[in-house]
Structure 1
Amino acid sequence: MFSETKNYANGRTASGSNSADEENEKIAFRDSFTPRLFPSYRLYVAFMTSLALFLGYALLTDFSVAIVKMAYQKPTETQRSMNSCAAFQNETSNINSSSLQAGDFSWPPKMQGILLSSYYYGYAIGQVPGGIVAGKLGGKTVMGLSMIISGLLTLLTHIAATAHVVFLITVRVLVGLWSGANYPAAMVLMGYWSYESENTILLALATTGSKIAPVVSQIVSGILADRQFLGGWPLVFYFWGVVTLLFVPFWFLSVKEKPDNESLTEDDLDASLTRKELSLSVDFSKEIPWSQIFKSRNVWSCCVLLFCTDFMYSLLITIVPRHAN
């Protein structure tokens, strides 16, 4: 198979055909030659990308849980009425005024809303620039830098919160800004490593971490916030910041940017050479067709769909921890 790939790539089997026919034959040959996925280095890249996205989204949801312990929580009408009713005094003995009002900061609900949404301001801004930069520098590099800066900023969250609320808002905006580059950078990285015939499964595996992160992060963050060590809620940010930074060396040392003769198995070597010699990698040096993108009904359909689904998804992972207290 490797010799066939070399011969085809050198043009020995396609001599005399025009460029359109050659391109069609390349596509047909590409679809017929897809090395096994398991075990393969392509699968490993997808797994590591999934872990990187997991950590990126963990840095989002950790604050949603920590703010419950950080801020003054005003008792609701239901909770006040339950505490005043003799029939519920025994059942609600653990929900008293002191526990509901615990918190180091007397932020009003409006300020808490600003703090919770500040991450998304940066996240929305970082999407397009993150994709453009990833196309120039590479998805691996951009995701690595994102984890480094986001992890360091998360470690500074405690200091920023105790200094002034404006500093805390700034930190959360910057965390969102750098985390916003993760998804487009992941698409760039996987674009080099996945064949079109396996894009669906590899991209699904690579993005699984972002869906698992809110569940795991909220559970872990809730457990950490209840601890007395370091004051409880600061431990949440120290934990996720340290874990993110510890993952960075493994990311840079084990993940390859492109399959340029870099592989772990013989099949991957064939796949790398095939992809390189048949010019199947994405060419990010070309000018971005902005006009075609904005005029595409498919693009706008995807935007509307993602807005509707992500709006409810983001609302749930941001607001639910406060009401589940």
Structure 2
Amino acid sequence: MFLKKTTDGENEPILQNDDSKPLLPVRYIIVFFCFMANTFSYGMRINWSIAILAMVSKKKFHQSNSSTEVLLGGNETLVFDWDMKTQQLILGSFYYGYTLTPFLGGWLVGKVGSFRVLLTGLLLSSLMMLLTPISAKISVVLVILTRVIDGIGQGVVFPSTYSIISKWSKLNERSTFISISTSGYNIGSIVSSYVSAWLCSSYFLGGWPSTFYGAGICGIILSFGWFIIGSNDATSNRWISNYERKLILSYGIEDTQSENIDIYQVPWKSILTSAPVWSLCVCNIGFDYGYYFLSTDVPIFFKTILGFQIKTTGLLSVLPQSAMFITMIFGGVLADNLILSGTLRIITIRKLFGFLGLGFSSIILVSLGYFINDVTLVVTMMVGVFAMYGFFIPGIDANTMDIAPNHSALLIGIMFSISSLTGFIAPAVLGALTNRTNTIFQWREVFWIVAGIQLFGLVAFLIFGSGEEQDWSKAHKKSNTDIALLEIPSTNSKEAN
């Protein structure tokens, strides 16, 4: 990373004056890269939901005396005779690779550093995007394999960015930085939904293959940029000024350059037997089941039930994610202000936001299945469901900082690994219910199932959730290890906000 040493062996910043306040702090650039990593990561995931509509859409035209099937919008690309079950198997296979890797990503961060883990995950996903059109033309098995490997690559991205932000921010910046980074999921969905729909309906590179080529190339470009500017932490970065480095370290964790990781310092038994931890896991299962299901299958609902064209479907898919992006940022700011003001107890704020995220969204989700004749109202209600989801992040996910500030990233990894199982369960349930007849009656059943799972997770958190730091987290002593650097300070501290 353009390393340069001074005569005494100390690091010297390359672009910034040693002791002056930088015009553009490097930590802002790092946060931007984390945001873009999540944007491209989720964008690569969502483009499949749009592309598969074009990959199985056919129209007949007669040329000479033969009948040829071509892609809607393209004229040289093959389309595939995949039934609903096969489509849902392909969409869900991503999560076979994604399920364990958030947890393993947190472990790898401790072993080789978050810089390398993030770079490897981005490159792996980008390569799978480039290989998708080729594998699709060969066999369904190869398509599923690329999806699984893509899931493995993307699974390590979030814990990597979580670790990077925890080491690149002052205590009173971390909530904001994490919100910005996580919002990349929504922006990725918004951009990918629109661009993928446009590319699939175009003649460029044969239609749907272009969306995979574009995503893969953009991911590789981002990886190159991260290779140039990124690092595990502020102390090892070659672009940061001493002023900014000292500023970060004065608020952060000391000695961030340890190479040896003692993973056995993690209190595994206490974590795995903690009721608040499991309440978070169950609550995240409820959220991820609904969010992954709707993010993946809303385009199918818009097309098959509401009868929208692919371009319209892509545009309408932007609205729910836009609403969630707005409420996520607004919810984060609101939660921090409520905590700082002392108006409500922390656990009360978390549970209130949890109810908005899962309880209120469930009511809306079930209701929209009974207003199918009013298309505008149905779309509005779907947007409302995602808007409520935006409160979940500052409500439930932020609770990991309350109960275990020294292990919050590890908890996030565990929660994501468990809840990611819903990524292939939800599409399988939809495929089983709609494979023979795809009507609003089947979708109503699906909406009831999603709402029931969400409410079960909410009840678990309302009963067992805690806003107090757990004893096993307090007992943990900081050590010079990267696993300790995964911690995020407790939101009980006003300085942390």
**1:132 aligned to 101, 107, 110, which one?**
107
Question: How big is the shift at 1:266?
Answer: 4.7
| TM-score, normalising length: structure 2 | 0.50
**Partners of 2:187 and 2:180 in 1: how far apart?**
11
Verify: 1:303 aligned to 2:281, yes or no.
Answer: yes
Question: How big is the shift at 1:134?
Answer: 1.4
Verify: 1:66 aligned to 2:51, yes or no.
Answer: yes
**Partners of 2:255 and 2:225 in 1: how far apart?**
29
**Is the 8 Å Cα contact of residues 170 and 248 (structure 2) preserved in structure 1?**
no
| AA of the residue aligned to 1:153 | M
SS of 1:260's partner is: helix
| AA of the residue aligned to 2:110 | G
**Is the 8 Å Cα contact of residues 138 and 188 (structure 1) preserved in structure 2?**
no
| AA of the residue aligned to 2:298 | V
Aligned CA distance change for structure 1 residues 155 and 298 (closer, same or farther; 3 Å): same
Question: How big is the shift at 1:276?
Answer: 7.6
Aligned equivalent of 2:181: 206
- Counterparts of 1:125-204 in structure 2 under 5 Å? 125-204=100-179
**Is the 8 Å Cα contact of residues 49 and 186 (structure 1) preserved in structure 2?**
yes
| AA of the residue aligned to 1:116 | L
**Partners of 2:254 and 2:228 in 1: how far apart?**
28
Aligned equivalent of 1:264: 240
Verify: 1:285 aligned to 2:270, yes or no.
Answer: no
**Is the 8 Å Cα contact of residues 151 and 245 (structure 1) preserved in structure 2?**
yes
**Is the 8 Å Cα contact of residues 71 and 103 (structure 1) preserved in structure 2?**
no
Aligned equivalent of 1:250: 225
Aligned CA distance change for structure 1 residues 230 and 118 (closer, same or farther; 3 Å): same
**Partners of 1:57 and 1:307 in 2: how far apart?**
18
**Is the 8 Å Cα contact of residues 72 and 107 (structure 1) preserved in structure 2?**
no
**Is the 8 Å Cα contact of residues 90 and 144 (structure 2) preserved in structure 1?**
yes
| AA of the residue aligned to 2:138 | A
**Partners of 1:69 and 1:103 in 2: how far apart?**
10
Comparing both chains, which one has the higher relative contact order based on Cα–Cα distances under 8 Å and sequence gaps of 6 or more?
1
**Unmatched tracts of structure 1, length 5 or more:** 1-35, 75-97
Question: How big is the shift at 1:304?
Answer: 2.0
**Partners of 2:139 and 2:169 in 1: how far apart?**
46
**Partners of 2:289 and 2:253 in 1: how far apart?**
42
**Is the 8 Å Cα contact of residues 235 and 257 (structure 2) preserved in structure 1?**
no
**Is the 8 Å Cα contact of residues 261 and 272 (structure 1) preserved in structure 2?**
no
| AA of the residue aligned to 1:243 | C
| AA of the residue aligned to 2:267 | P
Q: Comparing 288-297 with 130-139, which one deviates more in the overlay?
A: 288-297
Aligned equivalent of 1:119: 94
Structure 1 or 2: more helix by fraction: 1
**Partners of 1:73 and 1:299 in 2: how far apart?**
48
**1:48 aligned to 16, 21, 33, which one?**
33
**1:317 aligned to 295, 303, 312, which one?**
295
Cα deviation code 1:153-199 (max 9, x no counterpart) = 11000011010000000100110111011111111212211233322
**Partners of 1:38 and 1:214 in 2: how far apart?**
32
Aligned CA distance change for structure 1 residues 212 and 284 (closer, same or farther; 3 Å): farther
**Partners of 2:254 and 2:221 in 1: how far apart?**
37
Aligned equivalent of 1:90: none
Aligned CA distance change for structure 1 residues 233 and 261 (closer, same or farther; 3 Å): closer
Question: How big is the shift at 1:125?
Answer: 2.1
**Is the 8 Å Cα contact of residues 31 and 177 (structure 2) preserved in structure 1?**
yes
Aligned equivalent of 2:215: 240
Aligned CA distance change for structure 1 residues 108 and 261 (closer, same or farther; 3 Å): closer
**Partners of 1:279 and 1:197 in 2: how far apart?**
20
| TM-score, normalising length: structure 1 | 0.75
**Partners of 2:58 and 2:301 in 1: how far apart?**
10
SS of 2:99's partner is: helix
| AA of the residue aligned to 2:52 | I
Verify: 1:228 aligned to 2:228, yes or no.
Answer: no
**Is the 8 Å Cα contact of residues 226 and 233 (structure 1) preserved in structure 2?**
yes
State the Cα RMSD in Å. Answer: 2.8
**Unmatched tracts of structure 2, length 5 or more:** 1-20, 60-70, 304-497
**Partners of 1:226 and 1:313 in 2: how far apart?**
26
**Is the 8 Å Cα contact of residues 98 and 155 (structure 2) preserved in structure 1?**
yes
**Partners of 1:317 and 1:70 in 2: how far apart?**
19
| AA of the residue aligned to 2:293 | L
Question: How big is the shift at 1:265?
Answer: 3.8
Aligned CA distance change for structure 1 residues 279 and 265 (closer, same or farther; 3 Å): closer
Tell me the matched-pair count: 266
Question: How big is the shift at 1:43?
Answer: 2.2
- Could you tell me the percent identity over the aligned residues? 29
**Partners of 1:290 and 1:281 in 2: how far apart?**
24
